[in-house]
A and B are shown apart, each in its own frame.
Chain A
Amino acid sequence: MKSEDSSNKDPRVCCFHDSEAEAAFEESVSALIALMQKKSRQMYINEENILRMNHGQAWVHSARDPEPNTSMHRMSAEWSVPYAKIVENDLGLIASTLVPVKDELDRQFASNIYSVVGAAADRVGNVVEAKKAGSFAESMLEMLEKIELGVDREGNVSMPQIHAGPDAYEKIVKEIDNVPQDISDRIEKLKEKKIQEALEREEKRKNKFKRDT
């Protein structure tokens, strides 16, 4: 029993510890990770659309049509710091520790984003399968037909973004060059139509506000 106790005892010694300074350092590490995460997030989401909640883990848009229940996704990453590297005073340890943490958080964030967008698209049927559509060009046309364009706070119509992995990206770039002219014309026409529809929807939305007549 005695030997168990002694083996469990922390063999480190506390001398000249400044717990406040150490806590402040840990906070600055968290702030740095948060900053790196913010930069990564900006690749996916406009900052205007970021909402910050202080309490709770779920939300509801009760003024809208019922939506699937969503909840916050927790992201976490673990890191370990070898004591030997600390003792060697290897300042490269900061990058070699924090960059993998950032990458892991980015990966989880992207995964969460795509799974939420994917679920929402599934629910409203906004899913296009390239094989069923017949060709890449046809699938682009079908995709454009299915989506509604949004209008930002300045009244500009937001065009859709395409997110793709590196392999798919290369393919898409090649396919775009080979879109037949007739489909390209149809896409342009549809785009005009969608833009017009978006502006009309926006005007209708704004007209719902009471105005001083």
Chain B
Amino acid sequence: MLRRAMIAMGCNHYEHLEDLGSAEYDAEAIFDALIQPQIGDYDGLKSKLLKSPTLDEVRAAFKEILFGTETLDVLTITFAGHGAVSSGSFYMALRDTDASALSATGLSLSDLFRMIAEAAPKQTYLVIDACQAGGLVSDLNVILKAELMGRDGTPGVSLLATAASDQAAVEVGKHGIGTEALLKCINGDIFLQDSSPALDLVEIGRAVSTNLMEQGAQTPTVWGLNLYGPPSFCKNPHVEAGAEPLRKILADWPDPESRKSIQSFLPKLWGPYSSTGEDFDSRRFVELLFSLSDELSSEPQMLENLNRRISESFAVQAQQSKDVFKPIEVRAAAIIALLPSAKNADIADHIAERCNQLADEIEHAVEYVADAITNYEYALVTGGLGDLYHLPIRISKLLGWAGFAAHSRILTGTDSSAAEESLRSILDRILQVYSLSLVAMSDCQSPYLITAITALEQFRMRDEAEQLLGFYFNSVVDCGGKVARPDLQANKVLSYLIARGSGELNGKTDLVAQPSELVLALLRLAHLTNLGDQFDLSLSELDHLPLNAYLPDSYENFGALQIPEGLNAVFQIGTDFWQVAELEMSWPNPPIPENVAEALASILAALVFPDRSPWFLFASSDQRGVGEPN
């Protein structure tokens, strides 16, 4: 039986600070909700509600609950009241806290983390609704540097803070609005998900963030990783589980062996976690998760739960980035890490569900970008000369990800109308404003164009597909098929552009893709859309151009850095074929993914790591790119 305890603190009355009106109500409301067996199921005997306590009273409560006879599985600490940042540390102000002596009279976040680390409950949830609560992020960095959270055996900690460092927590009526939003999630008034019987604080935090930002009130901070167990903050009101106590419906904690694997994994994860934002390194992230998949390959349920929680935590962290696709790339990378296990039926179902959730997010992001272009035609331009290279690639990425949402809907047999609409809408804007940026610039565009144009073909958007292919193929002919190599170093991009602009790409083998996967993709797409005859007329201008397609033996390693198996199908224009139809006739018959999940995760692998392409999307429409229906 899980040991669950809670300390809820609310401070209305202050000896040295201004009194507040609703902090005690907040603490009481959260305590009352979470103590109920069918909601939070925290142990009433081990939990405490502290109204306007002094620092000594709080320390005594922590000593009793954290360092009692048994180690806790889940500890939840909530605080409502004044908060303050001093010398880079965040303090919670209690009844006897003096603003001029915060370090001596306030409860510092660092001290709290030290206590948590020493008592080591398996999972700790921290909810802070206070002025300057967002300022605790600077304190978190100190805590991470102190390696408190990076050692073996340290607990998982998730945190939700509902006021930014320069914002005052807003009180509305009886409750602070952060607490109000949290209670709505707990009570089910805000929908989070209906797939897991319990909710995690990070997913609640994401919903609270959205809710508060929509009200324009506060910018919450959500932070943390729960690695050890299933979501366990409170029961999910949107999953039918009767009036069973939460502890009964929660999945078991990992067995000691698995816990050991997770414990050794945790320190490796904090570094990438704290740098996720602008600097998300998808390769490093996927490799880390691959190592976890190896450890937990015999426990698929635990693997998918853990993978989902890591994905969610990192995606929330990635929302700090201005890039609207950053959280999407994070979630996609986490799905790719499940590819080696995608043949397992449970994991396959899980991947398919996650891909459709990702498709939702992509459809929203694509619509957002399309609206931005409608409002300002140059919305996609960053402004530097580097855009001559990067803008065409960004546009093909946009189309490719929109194409993924379409394939996800089609392959899983779910409603594809939103995906079709978002693809149509972004394509319309691009054809109107950016048609001259539909340029084959780098070989890394191959997977994006394959994904996008095969999706257009599924939706019978033949005219749009023809227009796209026309622009791309003309640019290929203009540069003699010498598109940039997919791994072109950023400091060589200018050299490539100058050479391409002056028609001097011959012999520039360090800059040019040789052979080219992109040109091969365009020729095959031309065949798919019946444009082969037209393209044939320009093939002599690409005479001698070498082309290549990497075709794996199987797709379980399709997300790996280097895939050892498989073969490269190489063709040379003017030697192996002279017409597009001849190329198609000599196309080998490579293996295709074994199920829908493997197909979808492989498309994601190609979008995140574009040195490989999802050639299986050309398979005949009755196969729809997969060996068997999922």
Contacts and interface: CB of A to CB of B under 8 A. Distances in A.
Interface in A13-39: 13-29, 32
Interface in B403-454: 433-434, 436-437, 439
Contacts of B325: 15-16
B369 A94 contact: no
A13 B372 contact: yes
Contact of A83 (B381, B394, B494): B381
Contacts of B490: 18, 20-25, 28
Contacts of B278: 19
A25 B385 contact: yes
A84 B491 CA distance: 25
A23 B489 CA distance: 12
Contacts of A21: 386, 390, 490, 493
Interface stretch (A51-59, A67-75, A85-93, A193-201): A85-93
B324 A15 contact: yes
A149 B230 CA distance: 86
A178 to B, nearest CB: 45
Contact of A15 (B376, B378, B380, B387): B380
B398 interface: yes
A89 B391 contact: yes
A12 interface: yes
A104 to B, nearest CB: 17
Contacts, number: 124
Interface string A93-134: 111010000000000000000000000000000000000000
B383 interface: yes
Contact of B437 (A15, A89, A95): A89
A28 B372 contact: no
B439 A12 contact: no
B386 A15 contact: no
Interface residues on A, range: 20 to 34
Interface stretch (B81-89, B292-300, B310-318, B497-505): B497-505
Interface string B479-522: 00000000001111111011011000000000000000000000
A16 B433 contact: no
Contact of B365 (A12, A15, A32): A15
A27 B385 CA distance: 12
A81 interface: yes
Contact of A89 (B369, B378, B436, B491): B436
Given A91-B500, A94-B501, A29 B390 contact: no
Contacts of B375: 11
Contacts of B397: 15-16
A13 B382 contact: no
A81 B384 contact: yes
A28 B493 contact: yes
A2 B393 CA distance: 35
Interface of B: 278, 321-325, 365, 368-369, 372-373, 375-376, 378-394, 397-398, 433-434, 436-437, 439, 489-495, 497-498, 500-501
Interface of A: 11-29, 32, 81, 83-84, 86-95, 97
15 contacts: A12-B372, A12-B382, A13-B373, A15-B365, A16-B397, A21-B493, A25-B384, A28-B492, A29-B385, A89-B388, A89-B437, A91-B500, A91-B501, A92-B501, A94-B497
Given A25-B494, A91-B388, 7 more contacts: A15-B325, A16-B394, A22-B386, A83-B378, A83-B383, A89-B439, A91-B500
